[in-house]
């Protein structure tokens, strides 16, 4: 069936974290008249982050959601057309490139910048799904407040898990941190902060056997992999902080990716294997995954798109 194209744009940006908004700022200034669709989580992962202390220009730090409002306002002021909507399918087999929005309308674009980011990974336990929203959460910052003065558990060993454990320690009576190995992956400074926080207990070499509770989280059962012992710890919430996976599924038929689904770009550029398609931010970066590197790659993508459109005589 022939696709009904409802609109033609010069530069289409998919996703709205630091990468997408920065791309929109640069593309607008280059007069590419970019259209940006915000996706399922407008503002991206920073909207579920509290204090951002490591972004240049904010000496006192800033809340993640507030920072994303600043990014969006700046993009709008430059002239970007920012819309609510989700890219649900693409056809990169010919030019102009085609992108379906909300499973209902197709847009043609001369250049597409993908900045769809990454999403939280889950353990895959049936109890985790059943109790999701009833004490199980992948965002301590969003949901920690509801468990003020309670005992909670968090699983993970990286910087995010350490940051979230510290955040929870300020709200909750006690935080049980479940670490699968005998060491953490978090940076030294974050590890030290966790180890020096009296109301955080680390359970080393431990796996989550089951999250217990009928209608809400009541306890977590841990399996110690060195002793094979199982212990039940009463908790009111269970937070999952075990990493992320890139939101790249709709592009897999067209774009080169690594084995975990991160979009491959030509080193030193934002260019993908398809001419006119560029990728920026966490959907193509599994190494750094910072707001500042995402913003930088959004700038690269807009500049690469501008050059491409200029060379093709499309701008």
Every domain of the chain with CATH number 3.50.50.60 lies at 5-119+244-311, 122-240
pLDDT of residue 307: 98
DSSP 138-200: S-HHHHGGGGTTSEEEEE--SHHHHHHHHHHHHHSSEEEEE-SSSS--S-HHHHHHHHT-TTE
pLDDT of residue 142 exceeding 80, the answer is no
For the chain, the residue count is 315
pLDDT band at 290 (very low <50, low <70, confident <90, very high): confident
pLDDT band at 166 (very low <50, low <70, confident <90, very high): very high
pLDDT band at 107 (very low <50, low <70, confident <90, very high): very high
> Considering only CA atoms, which of 311, 147, 157 is closest in space to residue 240?
157
For residue range 52-98, list pLDDT tens digits in order: 878 999 999 898 889 999 999 999 999 999 999 999 999 999 999 99
pLDDT of residue 141 exceeding 80, the answer is no
pLDDT band at 41 (very low <50, low <70, confident <90, very high): confident
Mean pLDDT of 215-235: 97
Mean pLDDT of 240-262: 94
| 299 catalytic residue (yes or no) | no
pLDDT of residue 49 exceeding 70, the answer is no
Active-site annotation holder among 143, 151, 282, 304: 143
Active-site annotation holder among 81, 91, 142, 209: 142
What number does CATH give the domain 5-119+244-311?
Answer: 3.50.50.60
Percent of the chain with pLDDT over 90: 83
| 11 catalytic residue (yes or no) | no
Cross-strand bridge partners of residue 107: 7, 99
* Mean pLDDT rounded to a whole number for the chain: 94
pLDDT of residue 258 exceeding 80, the answer is yes
Structure tokens at 115: 């900045």
> Considering only CA atoms, which of 179, 220, 182 is closest in space to residue 202?
179
Active-site annotation holder among 81, 91, 139, 159: 139
What number does CATH give the domain 122-240?
Answer: 3.50.50.60
| 143 catalytic residue (yes or no) | yes
pLDDT of residue 1 exceeding 60, the answer is no
pLDDT of residue 237: 97
CA distance 16 to 40: 9
CA distance 139 to 61: 20
pLDDT of residue 204 exceeding 60, the answer is yes
Torsion region of 152: left, alpha or beta (phi above 0 gives left; psi -120 to 50 gives alpha): beta
pLDDT band at 50 (very low <50, low <70, confident <90, very high): low
């Amino acid at each position: 069936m022939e696709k009904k194209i409802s609109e033609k744009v010069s530069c289409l940006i998919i996703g709205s974290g630091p990468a997408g908004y920065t791309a929109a700022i640069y593309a607008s200034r280059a007069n590419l008249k970019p259209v940006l669709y915000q996706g399922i989580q407008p503002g991206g992962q920073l909207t579920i982050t509290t204090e951002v202390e490591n972004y240049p220009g904010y000496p006192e730090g800033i809340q993640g959601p507030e920072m994303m409002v600043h990014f969006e306002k700046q993009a709008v002021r430059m002239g970007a057309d920012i819309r609510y909507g989700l890219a649900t399918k693409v056809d990169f087999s010919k030019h102009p490139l085609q992108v379906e929005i909300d499973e209902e309308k197709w847009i043609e674009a001369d250049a597409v910048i993908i900045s769809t980011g990454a999403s939280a990974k889950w353990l895959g336990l049936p109890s985790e799904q059943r109790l999701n929203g009833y004490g199980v959460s992948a965002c301590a910052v969003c949901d920690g407040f509801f468990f003020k003065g309670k005992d909670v558990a968090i699983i993970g060993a990286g910087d995010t898990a350490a940051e979230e454990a510290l955040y929870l320690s300020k709200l909750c009576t006690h935080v049980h941190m479940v670490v699968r190995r005998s060491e953490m992956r978090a940076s030294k400074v974050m590890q030290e902060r966790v180890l020096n926080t009296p109301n955080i207990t680390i359970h080393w070499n431990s796996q989550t056997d089951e999250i217990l509770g009928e209608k809400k989280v009541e306890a977590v059962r841990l399996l110690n992999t060195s002793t094979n012992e199982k212990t039940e710890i009463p908790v009111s919430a269970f937070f999952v902080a075990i990493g992320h996976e890139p939101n790249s599924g709709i592009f897999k038929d067209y774009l080169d990716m690594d084995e975990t689904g991160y979009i491959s770009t030509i080193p030193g550029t934002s260019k993908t294997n398809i001419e006119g398609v560029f990728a920026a931010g966490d959907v193509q970066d599994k190494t750094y995954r910072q707001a500042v590197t995402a913003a930088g790659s959004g700038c690269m993508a807009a500049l690469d798109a501008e050059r491409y459109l200029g060379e093709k005589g499309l701008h």
